[in-house]
Amino acid sequence: MNDMTQHFHQVEMKPKEFKSEVEPVWCPGCGHYGVLAGMYRAMSELGLDPNYTVNLSGIGCSSRTPYFVQSYKMHTLHGRAGAVATGTQLARPDLAVIVTGGDGDGFSIGGGHMPHLARKNINMTYILMDNRIYGLTKGQVSPTSRKEMKAYTTPYGGVEEPLDPVLYMLTYGATYVGQAFAGNPKMCASLIKGALEHQGFSFVNIFSQCPTFNKIDTAKYFKGLVVDVPDDLELDDSSSAMAHVQQVNRQGKLAVGLLHQSQRTTLDQEMARLVKKVGGNAEYDLQKIVDLSRP
């Protein structure tokens, strides 16, 4: 194992044993099923102990995911899962912290949190199920929707350029960035596994078709656009990843695979150093920090 690899409390469990007693309620044909299958497989291959795993989410179809996974869980406010996950990780750095959400939850309602999760290098995995639509609230456009999208809020099509989640995360310093298509659960599992093993802020964007409200970004559409990342891509250079994604996008395609992985200290490591510097022990003594900050 390298320095970027995390160590977890481990158990031997098959993928199906990570299923909770709650059955998924997504529409037939929804891409989120593929993402969930990838999560089960990744958790099984890593041997994640559900007793030391927490899955947090905001609001949306994808944010129902924690109900379907054997773990501790918290269904938080719209767009606020990342903030709650930050507090969770700082309080319990021994846990595997997973956020599952959608493009609207993460980059519209919660867009103000995303750059800070990346720049602070919070030790967590953020899985974004990008269906380019607000599904739970019946089909409004999201920040990743194409201009061609005709929805309740844009009956004549959109006027805004769509946001690219991976370019956003690469810009703000995420130390692990991957992208996949939900129709390839094997790749989803591989990227999620790598994200969980990585020490730092891991972001995995997964194109996930919404058969009910998004009639243009179908499974067939995504499948025809995805292009695997080349083996010779310099993974530790975020500028190389950005250039590659932009080049593929200009060709009307979508880059999938591991795009970037680098290493720097995480926020919990920096906090531990600060506590030690001001006279505490290596464990968190946040009350002492609060006391010292008072006039």
What are the domain boundaries of the chain? 15-264, 265-295
What does DSSP assign to residue 228?
Answer: E
Question: Looking at residue 283, what is its pLDDT?
Answer: 54
Residue 160: how many other CB atoms lie within 10 Å: 11
pLDDT at 293: 52
Region label for 197, one of left (φ > 0), alpha (ψ between -120 and 50) or beta (otherwise) = alpha
Using alpha carbons only, give the angle 207, 209, 211 rounded to the nearest 5 degrees. 175
HSE (side-chain half, CA atoms, 13 Å) at 107: 26
For residue 35, the model assigns a pLDDT of 98
Contacts of 253 (CB under 8 A, 6+ apart): 225, 226, 227
The superfamily CATH assigns to domain 15-264 is Thiamin diphosphate (ThDP)-binding fold, Pyr/PP domains (3.40.50.970)
Give the C-alpha separation, 100 to 80, whole Å: 11
Would you state the structure tokens that stand for residue 176, as one six-digit string?
């692990």
Average pLDDT, the chain: 92
Q: How confident is the model at residue 8 (pLDDT cuts 50, 70, 90)?
A: confident
Using the Cα atoms of residue 285, residue 174, residue 82 and residue 203 in order, give the sign of their dihedral.
negative
| Residues 6+ positions from 239 with CB-CB distance below 8 Å | none
Average pLDDT over residues 77-103: 96
- The predicted pLDDT at position 1 comes to 36
Distance CA 61, CA 75 (A): 12
Q: Tell if the pTM clears 0.85, that is, is over it.
A: yes
Q: What is the pLDDT of residue 295?
A: 55
